[in-house]
């Protein structure tokens, strides 16, 4: 049961990553400056 839950969680993460890449690509096409700011703020430590 735990393995199934873990597999489902990782599958969801992969799906969400793909969706985020598509959304980010769309944002870059619409407004590159805002996309650059968004990417810069997410990678700061």
pLDDT tens string 21-40: 898 899 999 999 988 887 77
Question: What pLDDT score was predicted for residue 5?
Answer: 78
pLDDT of residue 42 exceeding 70, the answer is no
State the CB neighbour count (10 A cutoff) for residue 28.
15
Please give the share of the chain, as a percent, with pLDDT higher than 90. 20
DSSP 1-45: -HHHHHHHHHHHHHHHHHHHHHHHHHHHHH-HHHHHHHHHHHT--
Q: How far apart are the first and last CA of the chain?
A: 36
């Amino acid at each position: 049961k735990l393995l199934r839950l873990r597999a489902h969680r990782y599958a969801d993460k992969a799906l969400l990553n793909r969706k985020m890449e598509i959304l980010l690509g769309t944002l870059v096409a619409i407004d590159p400056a805002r996309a650059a700011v968004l990417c810069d703020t997410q990678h700061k430590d």
